[in-house]
Amino acid sequence: MATTQNLPPVDQRHHKAFDSISVPERLLLGPGPSNAHPSVLKALSLPPIGHLDPFYVDLMGEVQELLRYAWQTDNRLTLPMSGTGSSAMEATIANVVEPNECVLVAVNGYFGNRLVDMAGRYRAQVETIEKPWGDAFSLEELELAVEQYRPSVLAMVHAETSTGVCQPMQGIGELCHKYDCLLLLDTVTSLGGVPLFIDEWGVDLAYSCSQKGLSCPPGLGPFTMSPRAEKKLERRVGKVPNWYLDVSLLNKYWGSDRVYHHTAPVNMNFGIREALRLLSEEGLENSWERHKKNAEKLWEGLESLGLKLHVSEDLRLTTLTTVQIPEGVNGKEFNLHLLNNHGIEIGAGLGSLAGKVWRIGLMGYNSTPENVERILNLFKTELPRFKENVACAA
């Protein structure tokens, strides 16, 4: 019989009365997350069921099929990792990189550097090719580096969230086939909003997130692996050094066997299933065109206000725009002003662009003409007072 006689007294220091959560209303026009679609939030609130329930198992297959459509791939191993986008990012490295193998990372922003860090932690021989933050790589530059280092993996970012650059992909897959290396691609800020053709481009490993172009809260990391990458995984000398992200184990859960691996975040998969359904209902080409039109409206409006955009138009992401902060203006103070007084979030710069740019996201559910007009109106009416403060100080 249970007894509490010999237990110590309960520490009451943290026993306080807390109010229920009341979240302030926010329009998230930063680098992510974006606002979740109302029907996604409704799906998230459905009653949870078991992660091996036949209904849920069927839903898993639907999520996989919808992800294949979103990425334009037939890859068998396409699934949402149970974790944020960084978990899917790490999964691409963990599964195909073995100690002392050469991994070449094309770095032109903050998240290229994150790939460098991750690959190093898996004891790869990491080499880099670098460009200024705001530029993209040419095919010729990439071939020179691949020819020099002969990597087993070329890792790069399609949509660099820190800079607003969209990397042109023509010919890179063919280059990797020519030199017998895998192509690993970060699509965190492009999935759902920017043209993506995983199979056509010869991409072997890709990852993304749930909270940007898909308009679902953060918590899942879409992942896909080509047959070429599968073969490399099968040839590993040792086990994948990350148990949780080991695709050879996850395949038994997400594949035909449905063998238990971990307790999946059931409601998050309800949410991403609805998010992907909405994308499919709209149609990829329509979504891409919507993002393009709204981005162009934003660019034109910002430039008409005398602001400079950080990236040349031919390389700009339509999901995220980097705007140069006018000289003398405190960008952080302006961000806080928009958030505290107008309930709108825009992003600050990262790394070498910290304090130099604002990052404005128009992703998924948030990419609308109304949101463009709202943020442009605030830049028009609110930014001048920050410029005036600079003039007064001078």
- What DSSP line would sit under 25-76, residue for residue? P-EE-SSSPPPPPHHHHHHHTSPP--TT-HHHHHHHHHHHHHHHHHHT---S
Proportion of the chain above pLDDT 70, given as a percent: 97
pLDDT digits (tens, 9 = 90+) for 169-226: 999 999 999 999 999 999 999 999 999 999 999 999 999 999 999 999 999 999 999 9
What is the average per-residue pLDDT within 13-29?
93
What is the average per-residue pLDDT within 230-256?
94
Q: Give the pLDDT band (50/70/90) at residue 393.
A: low
* pLDDT of 392: 55
Proportion of the chain above pLDDT 90, given as a percent: 92
Q: Give the pLDDT band (50/70/90) at residue 6.
A: confident
* pLDDT of 5: 75
Distant-in-sequence, close-in-space partners of 133: CB < 8 Å, separation ≥ 6: 108, 109, 160, 162, 163, 351, 352, 353
Q: Give the pLDDT band (50/70/90) at residue 387.
A: confident
pLDDT digits (tens, 9 = 90+) for 325-373: 999 999 999 999 999 999 999 999 999 999 999 999 999 999 999 999 9
pLDDT at residue 394 tops 80:
no
Q: Give the pLDDT band (50/70/90) at residue 390.
A: low
pLDDT digits (tens, 9 = 90+) for 331-344: 999 999 999 999 99
pLDDT digits (tens, 9 = 90+) for 283-321: 999 999 999 999 999 999 999 999 999 999 999 999 999
pLDDT digits (tens, 9 = 90+) for 250-268: 999 998 888 989 999 999 9
- What is the distance between the alpha carbons of residues 81 and 254, in angstroms, rounded to a whole number? 10
pLDDT at residue 32 tops 60:
yes
What is the average per-residue pLDDT within 122-146?
98
* pLDDT of 112: 97
- What is the distance between the alpha carbons of residues 94 and 89, in angstroms, rounded to a whole number? 9
Q: What is the mean pLDDT of the chain?
A: 95
* pLDDT of 4: 64
Any idea what DSSP says for residue 24?
Answer: P
Strand pairing of 347-348 and 320-324?
unpaired
Distant-in-sequence, close-in-space partners of 72: CB < 8 Å, separation ≥ 6: 196, 197, 198, 199, 200, 284
Output the pTM of the full model.
0.94
Among residues 373, 41, 392, 78, the alpha carbon closest in space to that of 216 is found at: 41
Structural domains of the chain in order of their starting residue, each with its CATH number: 27-31+283-393 (3.90.1150.10), 38-281 (3.40.640.10)
Q: Residue type for 25, please?
A: E
* pLDDT of 142: 98
